[in-house]
């Protein structure tokens, strides 16, 4: 018999991420639904609020809540192929550090969220903003917020996927966990979308809060993911 | 992938293996030793615990009690030492429906640390051996159950495992498929095999040992 074999984590990470992105490109099961949901929500807000322009906390809330709820569609589907097609067993049989699966799924979800925002933030700007001056700093806030959402969403999705009530469980557990993230994200976005152009009141504090949230949930995911995959 | 020198010892050692699901025993008191190059055939009625036994040996399920040593690794604590040296063929093919057969095999090759030309050559050789080289670019969702089983057999032996765990490997295969599969998962000097089957006539001629499980996972005859 031979010594144990161990596949380098970067190779396992690349394999799983590549497989997820290839499957999504081929089937378009998550991203179009997320984008359509977000755009439809903006239309509903536009007519529901009867406003052609939004600013400050209202604009921040409309943007973040829409992105968050659209993200839940992707989070619910993140591990479906692993559950339905035996991917969990395949990964558990392989000589890999299971945190490679966590890292690959966080990265896949992060890619979905970034692509989603590339589509829907310009739509939001056309619907509700008077100027595009805030879009560059807004992108920084969204990237940090997406990373935290991807880490938390991956963790919750991996726990919910084997439950029969997974479509309910994921949002019910996820939403309370992302309250701090939502407070920080909307806190950072609010001055950027203020009347009269972007402001940066406590911007650094909110970015640091987002970064801290990201770090905590990435570390928690790394620490517990191996146990979540055990029988 | 790292590999190194050989160590001696049996491929499998089970002593008083027990597995319960809640209060219900699925396996109760299984003892056996299987050497390298030997084949064990596991027989028993539905619900006797045959699949549970294979999943424990594959490190996919934890034993509730007893001692389990797979390829020298004590389960469950040292499961990581055995992973990557086991080939598991279960009821599910473990193939992604939206990827082609070749893409699936590449994915599994990467998970097992195989890459580059060596991996491509190994995949091509397996596909040719199992008669799937002309269907390898088709999505798995478009393949028949028998063709998926052929691909699953390729996946199972892709990393040249030392221990094969085979749960009804002939299911969905036609006569030609069974003969081709035998070349990949048949008896071999370099590996041990555990074969769960409902077709003892085909399996028993290759068996070095037979384990018959009865109701509640009790060993009926060993």
Residue B211's domain is classified under what CATH number? 3.40.50.300
Residue B1 in any domain: the answer is: no
DSSP state of B120: H
**Amino acid B26: pLDDT:** 87
Contact flag A5-B110 (C-beta cutoff 8 Å) = no
pLDDT at B7 > cutoff 80: no
Cα B171 to Cα B147, B152, B202: the distances in Å are 11, 11, 13
The answer to whether the Cβ–Cβ distance between A4 and B80 falls below 8 Å is: yes
Cα separation, B203 vs B40, in Å, equals 9
A1/B107 CB distance under 8 A: no
Which of B6, B94, B107 minimises the CB distance to A19?
B107
Q: Does B77 touch chain A (CB under 8 A)?
A: no
Predicted confidence at residue B189, as pLDDT, reads: 75
Residue A2: which of B6, B59, B90 has the nearest Cβ? B6
Distances (CA, A) of B200 to A76, B107, B146: 44, 34, 21
Mean pLDDT to the nearest integer, B198-220: 80
> Could you give the residue ranges of the DSSP H alpha helices within B19-115?
50-57, 79-82, 101-111
Q: What is the pLDDT of residues B14-70, one digit of tens each?
A: 999 999 888 888 888 889 999 988 999 999 888 888 999 999 999 999 999 999 999
Q: Which residues on B lie below 8 Å from A92 (Cβ)? A: 59-60, 83
Contact call for residues A89 and A5 (beta carbons, < 8 A) = no
Tell me how crowded residue B2 is: count the other CB atoms within 10 A of its CB. 13
| Boundaries of domain holding B21 | 12-221
> What pLDDT does residue A38 have?
97
Q: How many Å lie between the alpha carbon of B128 and the closest alpha carbon of chain A?
A: 23
Please check whether residue B40 is in contact with residue B210, taking contact to mean a CB–CB distance below 8 angstroms. yes
Selecting from A26, A27, A91 the residue whose C-beta is nearest the C-beta of B111 gives: A91
**C-alpha dist (Å) from residue B157 to A14, B127, B154, B185:** 22, 11, 5, 7
Closest CA to A207 of A150, A153, A142, A151: A142
Residues of B in contact with A12 (CB under 8 A): 110-111
Relative to beta strand B65-70, strand B39-43 is unpaired
Over residues A22-43, the pLDDT tens digits come to: 999 999 999 999 999 999 999 9
Cβ distance A15 to B107 less than 8 Å, yes or no, reads yes
Query: Is B134 part of any domain?
Result: yes
pLDDT surpasses 60 at B1: no
- B57 — contact with chain A (CB < 8 Å)? no
Question: Exposure of A131 by Cβ count < 10 A (0-12 exposed, 13-18 middle, 19+ buried)?
Answer: exposed
| Count of the separate structural domains present in chain B | 1
Write the pLDDT tens digit of every residue in B145-166: 999 999 999 999 999 999 999 9
pLDDT band at B3 (very low <50, low <70, confident <90, very high): very low
Q: Does residue B5 lie within any of the structural domains?
A: no
**Residues whose CB is less than 8 angstroms from the CB of residue A169 and which lie 6 or more positions away in sequence, other chains included:** A156, A159, A160, A163
Residue B3 lies in a domain: no
User: Which of B113, B139, B140, B143 to probe by mutation at the A interface, max A CB count within 10 Å?
Assistant: B113
Q: What is the mean pLDDT of residues B163-190?
A: 90
Query: In this structure, are residues A135 and A50 in contact, taking their beta carbons and an 8 Å threshold?
Result: no
- The percent of residues above 90 in pLDDT, for chain A, comes to 72
Give the mean pLDDT of chain A: 92
Cα angle, residue A87 at apex, residues A156 and B129 outer, rounded to 5° = 170
Q: How far apart are CA B191 and CA B185, in angstroms?
A: 10
- Out of A1-15, A123-137, B80-94, least confident range: A1-15
Query: Could you tell me if residue B4 is inside a domain?
Result: no
pLDDT exceeds 80 at position B222:
no
- Residue A3 has its nearest CB partner, among B2, B107, B113, at B2
- In DSSP terms, B211 is beta-bridged to B42
Residue B6 lies in a domain: no
Cross-chain residue pair B113–A2, CB shorter than 8 Å: no
What does the mean pLDDT of chain B come to?
A: 88
Residue B119 confidence (pLDDT)? 93
Q: Which residues of B114-127 are buried (b: 16+ CB within 10 A; e: fewer)?
A: bbeeebeebbeebb
Residues 6+ apart with CB under 8 A from B68: B13, B14, B17, B56, B57, B74, B75, B76
Q: Which residue of A has its CA nearest to B84?
A: A95
Residue B7 lies in a domain: no
Picking from A83, A93, A94 by the largest number of B CB atoms within 10 A of its own CB, the best residue to mutate is A93
Over residues A65-93, mean pLDDT: 90
Chain A residue with CA closest to B98: the answer is A23
Mean pLDDT of B128-146: 94
* pLDDT of B220: 58
Among A107, A75, A84, A122, which residue's Cα sits nearest to residue A10? Answer: A107
Q: For residue A154, give the nearest of A117, A103, A115 by alpha carbon.
A: A103
Q: Which of residues 90-119 of B touch A (CB under 8 A)?
A: 90, 92-99, 103, 107-108, 110-113, 115
End-to-end Cα, chain A, rounded Å? 27
**Average of per-residue pLDDT across B89-117:** 93
Of A83-92, A139-148, B127-136, give the lowest mean pLDDT range.
A83-92
Pairs of CB atoms within 8 A across A/B: 125
CB atoms closer than 10 angstroms to residue A219? 11
What confidence category does residue B216 fall into, taking pLDDT thresholds of 50, 70 and 90? Answer: low
Q: Report the C-alpha gap between A80 and A83 in whole angstroms.
A: 5
pLDDT on residue A213:
97
Q: How far is B1 from chain A (nearest CA, A)?
A: 5
From the list B83, B96, B162, the residue facing A1 with the nearest CB is: B162
Give mean pLDDT, residues A56-67.
96
A68: pLDDT strictly greater than 50:
yes
Would you say residue A1 has pLDDT above 50?
no
Closest-CA distance, A18 to chain B, in angstroms, reads: 9
Which secondary-structure segment (H or E) carries A18?
helix A9-27
Closest chain B CA to residue A87: B94
Residue with tokens 């050559």: B121
* pLDDT for position B205: 83
Name every chain B residue with its beta carbon within 8 A of the beta carbon of A99.
none
In the predicted structure, residue A91 carries a pLDDT above the cut 50: yes
Task: Give the closest-approach CA distance of B179 to chain A in angstroms.
Answer: 26
Give CA–CA dist A199/A136, Å, rounded.
13
Interface check A91 vs B, CB under 8 A: yes
In a domain, B171, yes or no: yes
Q: In chain A, which among 145-174 make CB contacts under 8 A with chain B?
A: none
């Amino acid at each position: 018999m031979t010594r144990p074999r161990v596949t380098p984590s970067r190779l396992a990470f690349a394999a799983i991420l590549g497989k997820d992105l290839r499957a999504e490109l081929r089937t378009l099961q998550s991203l179009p639904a997320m984008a359509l949901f977000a755009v439809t929500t903006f239309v509903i807000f536009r007519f529901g609020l009867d406003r052609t322009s939004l600013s400050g906390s209202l604009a921040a809330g409309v943007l973040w809540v829409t992105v968050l709820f659209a993200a839940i569609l992707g989070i619910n589907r993140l591990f479906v192929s692993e559950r339905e097609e035996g991917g969990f067993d395949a990964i558990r049989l392989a000589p890999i550090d299971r945190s490679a699966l966590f890292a690959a799924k966080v990265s896949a979800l992060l890619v979905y969220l970034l692509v989603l925002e590339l589509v829907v933030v310009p739509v939001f700007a056309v619907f509700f903003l008077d100027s595009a001056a805030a879009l560059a700093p807004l992108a920084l806030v969204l990237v940090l917020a997406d990373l935290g959402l991807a880490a938390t969403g991956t963790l919750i999705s991996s726990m919910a996927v084997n439950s029969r009530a997974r479509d309910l469980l994921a949002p019910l557990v996820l939403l309370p966990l992302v309250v701090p993230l939502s407070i920080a994200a909307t806190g950072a976005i609010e001055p950027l979308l203020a009347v009269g152009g972007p402001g940066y009141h406590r911007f650094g504090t909110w970015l640091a809060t987002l970064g801290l949230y990201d770090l905590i949930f990435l570390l928690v995911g790394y620490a517990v993911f191996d146990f979540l995959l055990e029988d | 992938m790292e590999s190194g020198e050989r160590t001696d010892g049996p491929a499998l050692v089970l002593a008083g293996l027990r597995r319960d699901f809640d209060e219900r025993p699925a396996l109760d008191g299984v003892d056996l030793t299987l050497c390298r190059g030997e084949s064990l055939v596991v027989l028993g009625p539905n619900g006797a615990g045959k699949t549970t036994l294979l999943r424990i040996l594959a490190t996919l399920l934890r034993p509730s009690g007893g001692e389990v040593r797979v390829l020298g690794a004590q389960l469950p604590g040292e499961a990581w030492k055995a992973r990557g040296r086991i080939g598991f063929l279960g009821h599910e093919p473990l193939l992604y429906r939206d990827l082609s057969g070749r893409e699936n095999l590449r994915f599994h090759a990467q998970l097992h640390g195989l890459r580059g030309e060596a991996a491509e050559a190994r995949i091509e050789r397996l596909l040719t051996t199992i008669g799937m080289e002309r269907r390898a670019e088709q999505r798995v969702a478009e393949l028949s159950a028998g063709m998926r089983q052929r691909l699953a057999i390729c996946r199972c032996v892709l990393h040249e495992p030392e221990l094969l765990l085979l749960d009804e490997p002939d299911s969905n295969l036609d006569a030609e498929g069974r003969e081709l599969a035998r070349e990949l998962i048949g008896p071999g000097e370099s590996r041990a095999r555990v074969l769960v089957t409902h077709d003892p006539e085909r399996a028993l001629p290759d068996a070095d040992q037979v384990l018959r499980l009865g109701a509640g996972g009790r060993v009926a005859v060993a």
